């Protein structure tokens, strides 16, 4: 489902050209729960940006659901992100002015889903994360764990091929982290493909399969 081949990505820092990804290749199958682990500066954020179609590789190929992402335009990428990927970020990244349900509704609006269907799907997604009662609350009125659950609902609502979580527990206390991780397991058991990016070994270990990344190289793929 996700096939990266010899992907390279460079950044220009001053005069120096930094190689953030160095011929990285990996393969993730449908319905897998994979963690990508690496220390900060290892290139895992870059990898996540590329997998998440937020950025384009300088070299190599990337196929998502068979689509040749490396040749896509900015608007094509927006469409792919909208339809195929659900993001969960470390700092939740909810829009502060919008209520929980409006945040969840947003990707469906961009998709052009009619209003009645939107409302139904938003309700279903919020129910799944157990926040239906808080639908009208603004993010600032919710706890960190609740905000992250809203973010998960937003990721789920489009029924994406891939849920991409970037340090989803990084800003949460251990109890809440546990809850969130349980939610990911549940989502996995329901057939979702999940890629979890983290620097935390304990978190990474929870995934059936971990991919290690160091100095821009995918060094270890274990099952």
Partner 1 sequence: MMMSFKMAIRSISSNKLRSVLTMLGIIIGVMALVVLVSLVDGATSSVTDRILSLGSNMVTVNISDDKGKPVTLNTLKEWTGSVEKLSVIAPYAQDTATGKGKNGNGSLIVYGTTPPYYDIQDLQLAMGRFLKNTDVDNNSYVCVINETCAEELIGYADCVGDTITLDGTRYTVVGVVTNNENSLTAIFSSGTMVAYVPYTSLLRLSDKVSTEITSFYVGAEEESTIAEAEEAITNVLMERFEEDDEAFKVSSQDILEDTMEEITSILTILLGGIAAISLIVGGIGIMNIMLVTVTERTREIGIRKAIGANRKTILMQFLMEAVVICMFGCAIGIFMSWAILQIVTTIVSSMGMKFSLDLGVVLIAVVFCFVIGVLFGLYPANKAAKMKPIDALHYGG
Residues forming contacts to partner 1 in the complex (CB under 8 A) are: 49, 52, 54-55, 74-75, 78-79, 81-83, 87, 89, 93-97, 106-107, 109-111, 154, 158
On the CB side of 44, CA atoms within 13 Å amount to: 24
Shortest distance in whole angstroms from residue 48 CB to partner 1: 10
Rounded Cα distance, 152 and 164, in Å: 10
Shortest distance in whole angstroms from residue 25 CB to partner 1: 22
Of 45, 46, 49, 6, give the one whose Cα is nearest residue 25.
6
C-beta of 93 vs 119, nearer to partner 1: 93
* Residue 102 C-alpha from the chain's centroid: 20
Shortest distance in whole angstroms from residue 78 CB to partner 1: 4
Largest distance between two CA atoms of the chain: 54
CB contact set of 78 (below 8 Å; sequence gap of 6+): none
Rounded Cα distance, 144 and 122, in Å: 20
Classified as helix, coil or strand, 169 is coil
End-to-end CA distance of the chain: 17
C-beta of 109 vs 221, nearer to partner 1: 109
C-beta of 27 vs 124, nearer to partner 1: 124
C-beta of 8 vs 78, nearer to partner 1: 78
Shortest distance in whole angstroms from residue 97 CB to partner 1: 6
CA–CA–CA angle 194, 197, 201 (5° rounding): 110
Shortest distance in whole angstroms from residue 30 CB to partner 1: 21
List the beta bridge partners of residue 214.
217
C-beta of 3 vs 78, nearer to partner 1: 78
Shortest distance in whole angstroms from residue 104 CB to partner 1: 10
C-beta of 81 vs 210, nearer to partner 1: 81
Rounded Cα distance, 97 and 118, in Å: 19
């Amino acid at each position: 489902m996700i096939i990266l081949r010899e992907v390279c990505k460079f950044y220009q820092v001053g005069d120096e050209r930094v190689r953030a990804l160095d011929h990285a290749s990996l393969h993730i199958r449908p319905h897998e729960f994979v963690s990508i682990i690496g220390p900060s500066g290892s290139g895992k954020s870059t990898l996540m940006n590329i997998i998440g179609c937020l950025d384009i590789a300088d070299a190599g190929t990337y196929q998502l659901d068979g689509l040749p992402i490396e040749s896509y335009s900015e608007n094509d990428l927006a469409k792919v992100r909208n339809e195929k990927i659900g993001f969960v970020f470390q700092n939740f990244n909810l829009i502060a002015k919008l209520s929980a349900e409006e945040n969840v509704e947003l990707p469906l609006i961009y998709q052009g889903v009619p209003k009645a269907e939107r409302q139904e799907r938003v309700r279903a997604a919020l129910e799944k994360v157990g926040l239906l009662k808080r639908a009208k609350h603004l993010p600032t009125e919710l706890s960190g764990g609740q905000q992250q659950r809203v973010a998960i609902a937003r990721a789920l609502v489009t029924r994406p091929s891939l849920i991409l979580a970037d340090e989803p527990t990084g800003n949460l206390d251990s109890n809440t982290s546990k809850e969130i991780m349980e939610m990911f397991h549940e989502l996995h058991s329901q057939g979702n493909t999940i890629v979890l990016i983290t620097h935390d070994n304990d978190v990474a270990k929870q995934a059936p399969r971990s991919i290690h990344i160091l100095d821009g190289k995918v060094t270890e793929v274990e099952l």
